[in-house]
Structure 1
Amino acid sequence: MIQWRSAVIVATRSGWAGSREYAAQLPSGETVRALGYVDVVGELAPGTRVLLNTTALERGLGTGGLAIIVAAPDDLPEPLADVRAVPGHLVKARYTPSQTMVLGVDEQDSEHHAALAEADDLAGLPVVVADLHSALPAVLAGVHETAPDLRVAYVMTDGGALPIAFSRTVAGLRDAGWLAASVTVGQAYGGDLEAVNVHTGLLAARHVVGADLVVVTQGPGNLGTGTRWGFSGTSAGEAVNAAGVLHGRPVCALRVSEADPRQRHRGLSHHSSTAYGRVALVPADVPVPLLPGPFGQRVRAEARALCEGSGGRLSPYDVSCDGLDAALRESPVRLSTMGRGHDDDRASFLASAVAGRFAARLLLEEPGT
Structure 2
Amino acid sequence: MLELRRASVTAADGAWLQTDLGPAWSDPALHPPAQVGDDVVVNVQARGLGLGSGGYDVVAVNLTRGLEAADRSGAHVMKLNYTPLQHAVHAADGDPLAARGPVAVFGAHGQLPALAWAFGQAAPGARLGYVQTAGGALPGRLSRTAGELREAGLLEVHVTAGPAYGGELEAITTAGGLCAALERCDAVACGPGPGILGSGTALGHGGLAALDSAHAALALGLPTLVVARMSSADPRQRHRGLSHHTRTVLEMLLAPVIVALPEGQSAPDDRHDWRVASGALDGYPWPLRSMGRDDPLFFAAAAAAGRVLASGR
TM-score, structure 1 length as denominator?
Answer: 0.80
Q: Which residue identity does 2:291 align to in structure 1?
A: M
2:90 to 87, 90, 103: 103
Q: CA deviation at 1:362?
A: 2.4
1:120 to 80, 94, 97: 97
Higher helix share: 1
User: For residue 317 of structure 1, what is the aligned residue in structure 2?
Assistant: 275
- Is residue 90 from structure 1 mapped to residue 90 from structure 2 by the alignment? no
Asked whether the 8 Å contact 1:121–1:248 carries over to 2, the reply is no
User: For residue 299 of structure 2, what is the aligned residue in structure 1?
Assistant: 349
1: distance between equivalents of 2:88 and 2:7?
A: 28
- Is residue 73 from structure 1 mapped to residue 60 from structure 2 by the alignment? no
Map 1:263-278 to 2 at 5 A: 263-278=237-252
Asked whether the 8 Å contact 2:113–2:145 carries over to 1, the reply is yes
2:292 to 335, 339, 344: 339
2:16 to 21, 26, 44: 21
1:186 to 145, 162, 184: 162
Asked whether the 8 Å contact 1:319–1:358 carries over to 2, the reply is yes
- Is residue 152 from structure 1 mapped to residue 128 from structure 2 by the alignment? yes
User: For residue 312 of structure 2, what is the aligned residue in structure 1?
Assistant: 362
Summarize deviations over 1:140-172 as a string: whole Å, max 9, x none.
111122112111100000221111001111111
Map 1:246-325 to 2 at 5 A: 246-278=220-252, 280-291=253-264, 296=265, 300=266, 304-305=267-268, 307-308=269-270, 312=271, 314-320=272-278, 322=279, 324-325=281-282
2: distance between equivalents of 1:50 and 1:11?
A: 13
Q: Which residue identity does 2:40 align to in structure 1?
A: V
May I ask how many residue pairs the two structures share in their alignment? 313
TM-score, structure 2 length as denominator?
Answer: 0.94
2: distance between equivalents of 1:64 and 1:139?
A: 26
Aligned Cα root-mean-square deviation (Å)? 1.8
Three-state SS of the structure 1 residue aligned to 2:26 is: strand
Q: CA deviation at 1:122?
A: 3.0
C-alpha spacing 1:238/1:80, structure 2 compared with 1 (3 Å): closer
Summarize deviations over 1:20-67 as a string: whole Å, max 9, x none.
1011113xxxxx111012332211111112111111111111124310
Three-state SS of the structure 2 residue aligned to 1:71 is: strand
Q: Which residue identity does 1:317 align to in structure 2?
A: R
2: distance between equivalents of 1:253 and 1:96?
A: 33
Asked whether the 8 Å contact 2:280–2:304 carries over to 1, the reply is no
User: For residue 326 of structure 1, what is the aligned residue in structure 2?
Assistant: 283
Q: Which residue identity does 1:44 align to in structure 2?
A: A
C-alpha spacing 1:155/1:80, structure 2 compared with 1 (3 Å): closer
Q: Which residue identity does 2:19 align to in structure 1?
A: A
Q: CA deviation at 1:78?
A: 2.9
Asked whether the 8 Å contact 1:103–1:194 carries over to 2, the reply is yes
Asked whether the 8 Å contact 2:223–2:312 carries over to 1, the reply is no
Map 1:133-212 to 2 at 5 A: 133-207=109-183, 209=184, 211-212=185-186
Three-state SS of the structure 1 residue aligned to 2:251 is: helix
